[in-house]
């Protein structure tokens, strides 16, 4: 299957919301993690989303080059070629982009997609995230309104964040405080400024205690009921059931019940990065320790080429990450929902 068209991408979210499930959105940083994520989705029988953060894009461009646009486009084009060999649909998304990085990342990527759309082609990415959690809500929504106008013209979906996510991702540290919980007022103001779809399609990360990073279940105080409160209040005012298509950030270490509750309140996309990073790396560590003499030229020996060949341990990494993607699809209810 090809990368999702703009129309198919919108249908994916509509089906997820109607069917009571969500798609895992897996962060990728290399061609191998792209393959691992797509393989996991295919083996789960689920459509899915792969996404590139600013740091992931820098890394993919070459660790000494660090050009976000180059890396993001390279991963998107690679995915576009290899996804055709799998029987599911994959959407392409860019993850957290803060205000100071807009002109280095999202803005030029939208411009490149607009050029493609003007030629009658699909955009490079299906959606982009604007992370305005570090600026006041009014400024956040003002920038979101301008971006929404542009993403809509480029046949893309905009993801916004109203509230803040704690913890650390790509070197950006979020404080753990009351801003981790979005309010009904935040939701109402978002709909006042961005509309309910008439200005363009957007999805919203309302925060309910979310924290990036590694945490055991119970260490992060998630309150999914915050999502229900906002959906109910906003839905009553606008006469729309669950007016927001929601995104779940900072989900590593969440309990199965917390995930299920969030999905029942309108979450259609859940970001997964920390857990898949570990799932990719852990099998490599195991391989290296078990094949210590083979991967190192000890005491002048030649080692074992079959073991230090990057393909040998790379397959283990791919399999480990793919298995974690399958688990995510099962937790979110998207496994088995793909239909040709």
Alpha helices by DSSP H, the chain: 6-19, 31-44, 54-60, 68-82, 106-118, 137-153, 184-194, 225-238, 256-264, 274-290, 292-295, 305-308, 310-332
Rounded-to-integer distance, Cα 165 and Cα 215, Å: 14
A 10 A CB-CB count for 225 gives 12
Alpha helices by DSSP H, 45-105: 54-60, 68-82
Burial of residue 72 (CB within 10 Å: 0-12, 13-18, 19+) is buried
A 10 A CB-CB count for 266 gives 24
Taking Cα atoms as reference points, which of 114, 92, 111 lies closest to residue 102? 111
Rounded-to-integer distance, Cα 66 and Cα 30, Å: 13
Determine which one of 47, 67, 95, 299 is catalytic. Answer: 95
User: Where is 269: in which H helix or E strand?
Assistant: strand 267-272
211-212/48-52 β-pairing = unpaired
Phi, psi of 235 (to 5 degrees): -65, -40
Taking Cα atoms as reference points, which of 238, 312, 325 lies closest to residue 280? 325
Map residue 114 onto helix, strand or coil.
helix
Q: Which residues make Cβ contacts (< 8 Å) with residue 311, sequence separation at least 6? A: none
Burial of residue 87 (CB within 10 Å: 0-12, 13-18, 19+) is exposed
Confirm whether 95 is a catalytic residue. Answer: yes
Look at the block and give the residue holding tokens 């699809």: 329
- Which residues are annotated as catalytic? 95
């Amino acid at each position: 299957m090809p990368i999702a068209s703009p129309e198919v991408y919108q249908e994916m979210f509509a089906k997820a919301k109607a069917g009571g499930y969500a798609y895992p959105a897996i962060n990728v940083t290399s061609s191998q993690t792209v393959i691992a994520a797509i393989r996991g989705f295919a083996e789960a029988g689920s459509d899915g989303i792969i996404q590139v953060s600013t740091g992931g894009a820098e890394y993919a461009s070459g660790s000494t080059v660090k050009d976000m646009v180059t890396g993001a486009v390279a991963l998107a084009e690679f995915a576009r070629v290899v996804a055709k060999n799998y029987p599911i649909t994959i959407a392409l998304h860019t993850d957290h982009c803060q205000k100071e990085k807009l002109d280095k990342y999202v803005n030029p990527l939208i411009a490149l997609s607009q050029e493609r759309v003007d030629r009658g082609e699909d955009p490079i990415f299906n959606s982009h995230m604007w992370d305005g959690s570090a600026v006041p809500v009014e400024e956040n929504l003002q920038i979101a309104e301008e971006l929404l106008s542009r993403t809509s013209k480029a046949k893309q979906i905009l993801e916004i964040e109203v509230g803040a996510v704690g913890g650390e991702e790509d070197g950006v540290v979020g404080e753990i405080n009351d801003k981790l919980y979005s309010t009904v007022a935040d939701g109402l103001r978002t709909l006042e400024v961005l509309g309910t779809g008439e200005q363009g399609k957007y999805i919203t990360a309302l925060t309910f205690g979310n924290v990036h990073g590694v945490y055991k279940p119970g260490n992060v105080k998630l309150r999914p009921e915050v999502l229900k409160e906002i959906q109910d209040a906003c839905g009553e005012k606008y006469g729309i059931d669950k007016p927001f298509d929601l995104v779940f950030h900072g989900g590593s270490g969440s309990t199965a019940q917390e995930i299920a509750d969030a999905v029942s309140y309108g979450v259609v996309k859940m970001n997964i990065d920390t857990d898949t990073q570990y799932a990719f790396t852990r099998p490599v560590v195991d391989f290296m320790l078990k094949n210590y003499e083979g991967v190192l030229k000890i005491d002048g020996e030649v080692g074992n080429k079959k073991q230090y060949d990057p393909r040998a341990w790379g397959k283990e990494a791919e399999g480990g990450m793919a298995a974690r993607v399958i688990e995510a699809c099962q937790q979110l209810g998207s496994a088995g929902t793909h239909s040709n």
